[in-house]
């Protein structure tokens, strides 16, 4: 269950807080609706619950706040607005990337796609999806890790009636199996029709917390408020008049002098009071606390009499007889609950709605059957369990609810390859990295040809296409850009927003990004030199394609520069939350820091690190295998250079700042 206690957002400039001291509960096995008009604070309340926005109060998910849950995606499935993914990524690729982040098998993506009816669109780009398909994909992302709780912000917004009915029945099936569902809506009729409990917000404050039956009776239906000192006598007269005219009129005695009359009008009540000489102090139309927006439906909703409810009652009775004749099927879930044969919620109480229909207000199953133990594989028995009895209709049919995804078992310990798999799928899922690398290779080859044509360029700089006029070669800028994109994409398209704050700040993910950025930079460095040498050989012959004699130290410097630029881009983008800031930090190292470091190193009192490998060899008193002293000397020379020193200093500063902000956020 969900327990929200004292949710209060930070105050705004000269305005009250968007959410002020809101407390409510959403029980397991039930659908809870957070109702309110636009600006009532529904989305802010959800963001406070999910710790995506700063404020006061705390929310417990089955007894634990979100920051105390090791893997929040396995406990809470979230859908806030549109699916936060890169528009160029495919539907299946996006789900497989989230599978790696949540630590679930990659086949889970295909299972949830089948459930939400997106199998035919699995290779479609996210940017090309319609509103309805985007909602289906959002539900698939929420169900991916088999969570116990679903938190959805207006999931039916912009959907057709057919798609809304499908979505609501899916959520009802999740609740019927023991899960917790919390959704927001601005439509009171939808809340009464879908939810078991309705929590109403107005102006950021809690207005009412009611069962759906009470909400439909007292807050949704139009009524006439009457105040009279003869309330008992008037109530009896109204009831007698209703029986005489065979009208469905309900009279509720709310206080000593106040009556709420449902199914009548001010004119009829006033005429009865006048005819019998009853003094009336107040006679006014009311529609609960829903505001004037629903007054347009007042004349239609008042025509809900007993005769109009007869077809709805007959339809529900026929459905109950059909469900009673269908044998139930046991569904294995890790919530240890059961579902009916067609995965619909348990039989529900009915309450008349303003438009004359019966609103189904379902309650959780009172005697759940013992469920099967969850298994990792999907053998014949598990496949039979995941199928409903009889023929299955398409998932998009609103008259049939497809099976929920089968249960999965996830390793409790976080594996070291989990963030690495996520980062690899994130980087390979879009063509940005490949296009950037291709552009870097083309620009480097053309630059090398032009530099050879002009002349006066040292041979090592010619091989890496590094003009003296530029602070960095094109390959180093490309490596820094790829590193900045690695974290910049997380902020621009926060696929993991509901997992750990605005952007995940886990050190495992940072290590994975640094590792992938290093590998990408090394591959780009080798390809750049290879392409430049090949182009120079084809254009000018073998003279310019010769390998320098000191290739070892030059290679170490080149590799160190590429990896350092990539790391600077990753750390700066993660620290400043922007791809542009990450690339700016890469350019700032040679432009600003290198001159400062060079000026310091050229001072009269500065000592150098000359002879460092020889002294280290004397201290260790052992022979270097495979000429190891050469590698140590090359690394020492790289660090001793102004560029190497400035890059090392920048990386240390950025890493310290990133760790400081990460630990400070966790302490908060």
SS3 299: helix
SS3 219: helix
Asked whether the beta carbons of 569 and 480 are under 8 A apart, the reply is: yes
Asked whether the beta carbons of 462 and 452 are under 8 A apart, the reply is: yes
So what's the pLDDT on residue 624?
56
Confidence bin at 367 (pLDDT 50/70/90): very low
More confident residue, 405 or 578: 578
So what's the pLDDT on residue 328?
40
Give CB contacts under 8 A, 24+ apart, made by 461-468.
462/532, 462/536, 462/544, 463/529, 463/532, 463/533, 463/536, 463/548, 464/528, 464/529, 464/532, 464/558, 465/528, 465/532
Q: Could you count the other beta carbons within 10 Å of the beta carbon of residue 310? A: 10
So what's the pLDDT on residue 371?
35
So what's the pLDDT on residue 299?
39
Confidence bin at 181 (pLDDT 50/70/90): very high
Tell me what the mean pLDDT of segment 626-633 comes to.
Answer: 59
So what's the pLDDT on residue 629?
58
Between 43-47, 242-246, 332-336, the lowest mean confidence (pLDDT) is in 332-336
Tell me what the mean pLDDT of segment 639-654 comes to.
Answer: 78
So what's the pLDDT on residue 288?
56
Structure tokens, 183: 């959704």
Q: What is the DSSP letter of 335?
A: T
Confidence bin at 384 (pLDDT 50/70/90): very low
Element containing residue 31 per DSSP (H, E): strand 31-35
Structure tokens, 55: 């404020």
Alpha-carbon span 472 to 477, nearest angstrom: 7
Confidence bin at 295 (pLDDT 50/70/90): very low
Q: How far is CA 110 from the centre of its chain?
A: 19
Q: End-to-end alpha-carbon separation of the chain, Å? A: 25
Taking CA 371 as the corner, what is the angle to CA 388 and CA 385, rounded to the nearest 5 degrees?
25
Q: Which are the contacts of 396, defined by CB distance < 8 A and separation ≥ 6? A: 117, 166
Whether 296 shows a pLDDT value over 50: the answer reads no
Alpha-carbon span 226 to 284, nearest angstrom: 7
Asked whether the beta carbons of 47 and 59 are under 8 A apart, the reply is: no
Q: What is the DSSP letter of 90?
A: B
So what's the pLDDT on residue 489?
86
Alpha-carbon span 594 to 206, nearest angstrom: 58
Taking CA 273 as the corner, what is the angle to CA 272 and CA 274, rounded to the nearest 5 degrees?
90
Confidence bin at 83 (pLDDT 50/70/90): confident
Whether 206 shows a pLDDT value over 60: the answer reads yes
Q: How far is CA 407 from the centre of its chain?
A: 21
Structure tokens, 594: 């290198």
User: What are the start-end ranges of the E strands in 303-390?
Assistant: 348-352, 358-362
Structure tokens, 40: 């009532």
Between 373-377, 416-420, 499-503, the lowest mean confidence (pLDDT) is in 373-377
Nearest to 405 by CA among 387, 380, 379: 387
Mean pLDDT for all residues in the chain: 76
So what's the pLDDT on residue 105?
87
Whether 580 shows a pLDDT value over 60: the answer reads yes
Asked whether the beta carbons of 585 and 591 are under 8 A apart, the reply is: no
Alpha-carbon span 558 to 647, nearest angstrom: 13
Whether 380 shows a pLDDT value over 90: the answer reads no
**DSSP labels for 100-158?**
HHHT--THHHHHHHHHHT-GGGTTSBGGG--HHHHHHHHHHHHHTT--SEEEEESTTTT
So what's the pLDDT on residue 341?
33
Buried b or exposed e, range 323-344, using 16+ CB within 10 angstroms: eeeeeebebbbbbebbbbebbb
With residues binned 3-state (H G I as helix, E B as strand, rest as coil), the percentages for the chain, rounded to 5, are: 50, 15, 35
Q: Could you count the other beta carbons within 10 Å of the beta carbon of residue 21? A: 14
Tell me what the mean pLDDT of segment 85-103 comes to.
Answer: 89
Between 180-184, 267-271, 346-350, 590-594, the lowest mean confidence (pLDDT) is in 346-350
Tell me what the mean pLDDT of segment 500-513 comes to.
Answer: 69
So what's the pLDDT on residue 433?
92
Cα distances (angstroms) measured from residue 108 to each of 98, 149, 325, 379, 389:
10, 18, 33, 15, 23
Asked whether the beta carbons of 247 and 291 are under 8 A apart, the reply is: no
| Chain length of the chain | 668
So what's the pLDDT on residue 618?
61
Write out pLDDT tens, residues 219-262: 777 788 899 999 999 999 999 988 888 888 888 888 788 998 88
So what's the pLDDT on residue 619?
59
Q: Which are the contacts of 243, defined by CB distance < 8 A and separation ≥ 6? A: none
Whether 423 shows a pLDDT value over 80: the answer reads yes
Whether 612 shows a pLDDT value over 90: the answer reads no
Report the half-sphere exposure of 517 (CA within 13 A, side-chain side): 31
Report the half-sphere exposure of 548 (CA within 13 A, side-chain side): 14
Whether 401 shows a pLDDT value over 60: the answer reads no
Nearest to 152 by CA among 83, 79, 72: 79
So what's the pLDDT on residue 135?
86
Confidence bin at 550 (pLDDT 50/70/90): confident
Confidence bin at 34 (pLDDT 50/70/90): very high
Tell me what the mean pLDDT of segment 448-454 comes to.
Answer: 90
So what's the pLDDT on residue 534?
92
Tell me what the mean pLDDT of segment 119-130 comes to.
Answer: 90
Which residues on adjacent β-strands are paired with residue 151? 78, 182
Whether 355 shows a pLDDT value over 50: the answer reads no
Helix axes 417-428, 474-492, angle to 10 degrees: 110
């Amino acid at each position: 269950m969900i327990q929200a206690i004292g949710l209060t957002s930070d105050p705004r400039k000269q305005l009250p807080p968007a959410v002020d001291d809101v407390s409510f509960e959403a029980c397991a096995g039930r659908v809870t609706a957070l109702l309110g008009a636009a600006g009532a604070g529904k989305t802010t309340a959800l963001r406070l619950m999910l710790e995506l926005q700063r404020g006061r109060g705390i929310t417990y998910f089955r007894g634990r706040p979100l920051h105390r849950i090791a893997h929040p995606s396995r406990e809470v499935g979230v859908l806030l607005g549109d699916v936060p993914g890169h528009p160029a990524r495919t539907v299946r690729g996006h789900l497989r990337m989230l599978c790696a982040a949540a630590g679930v098998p990659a086949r889970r993506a295909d299972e949830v796609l089948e459930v939400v009816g997106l199998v035919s669109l699995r290779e479609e780009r996210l940017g090309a999806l319609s509103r309805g398909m985007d909602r289906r994909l959002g539900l698939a992302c929420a169900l991916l890790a088999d969570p116990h709780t679903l938190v959805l912000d207006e999931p039916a917004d912009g959907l057709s009636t057919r798609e809304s009915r499908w979505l609501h029945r899916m959520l009802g099936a999740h609740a019927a199996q023991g899960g917790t569902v919390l959704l927001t809506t601005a439509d009171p009729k939808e809340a009464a029709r879908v939810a078991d409990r309705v929590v109403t917000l107005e102006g950021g404050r809690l207005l009412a917390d009611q069962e759906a039956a009470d909400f439909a009776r007292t807050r949704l239906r139009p009524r006439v408020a009457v105040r009279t000192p003869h309330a008992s006598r008037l109530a009896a007269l109204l009831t007698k008049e209703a029986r005489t005219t065979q009208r469905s009129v309900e009279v509720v005695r709310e206080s000593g002098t106040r009556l709420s009359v449902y199914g009548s009008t001010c004119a009829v009540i006033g005429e009865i009071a006048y005819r019998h000489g009853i003094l009336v102090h107040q006679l006014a139309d009311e529609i609960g606390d829903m505001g004037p927006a629903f007054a347009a439906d007042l004349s239609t909703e008042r025509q809900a009499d007993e005769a109009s409810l007869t077809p709805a009652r007959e339809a529900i009775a026929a459905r109950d007889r059909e469900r009673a004749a269908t044998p139930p099927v046991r569904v294995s879930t890790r919530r240890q609950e059961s579902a009916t044969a067609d995965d619909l919620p348990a039989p529900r109480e009915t309450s008349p709605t303003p438009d004359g229909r019966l609103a189904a207000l379902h309650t959780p199953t009172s005697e759940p059957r013992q469920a099967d133990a969850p298994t990792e594989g999907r053998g014949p028995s598990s496949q039979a369990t995941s199928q409903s009895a009889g023929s299955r209709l398409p998932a998009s049919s609103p008259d049939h609810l497809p099976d929920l995804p089968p249960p999965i078992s996830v390793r409790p310990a976080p594996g070291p390859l989990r963030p690495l798999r996520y980062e690899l799928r994130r980087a390979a899922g879009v063509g940005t990295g490949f296009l950037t690398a291709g552009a870097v290779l083309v620009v480097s080859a053309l630059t090398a040809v032009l530099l050879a044509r002009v002349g006066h360029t040292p041979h090592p700089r010619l091989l890496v296409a590094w003009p003296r006029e530029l602070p960095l070669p094109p390959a180093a800028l490309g490596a820094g850009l790829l590193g900045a994109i690695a974290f910049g994409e997380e902020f621009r398209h926060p696929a993991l927003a509901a997992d750990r704050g605005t952007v995940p700040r886990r050190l495992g993910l940072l290590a994975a990004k640094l590792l992938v950025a290093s590998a990408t930079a090394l591959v780009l460095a080798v390809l750049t030199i290879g392409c430049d040498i090949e182009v120079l050989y084809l254009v000018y012959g073998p003279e310019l394609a010769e390998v320098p004699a000191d290739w070892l130290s030059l290679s170490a410097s080149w590799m160190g520069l590429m990896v350092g630029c990539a790391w600077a881009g990753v750390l700066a983008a993660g620290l400043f939350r922007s791809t542009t800031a990450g690339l700016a930090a890469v350019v700032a190292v040679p432009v600003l820091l290198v001159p400062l470091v060079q000026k310091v190193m050229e001072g009269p009192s500065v000592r150098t690190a000359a002879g460092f490998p020889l002294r280290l060899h004397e201290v260790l008193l052992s022979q270097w295998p495979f000429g190891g002293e050469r590698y140590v000397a090359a690394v020492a020379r790289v660090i001793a250079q102004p560029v190497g020193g400035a890059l090392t200093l920048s990386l240390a500063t950025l890493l310290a700042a990133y760790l400081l902000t990460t630990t400070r956020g966790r302490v908060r």
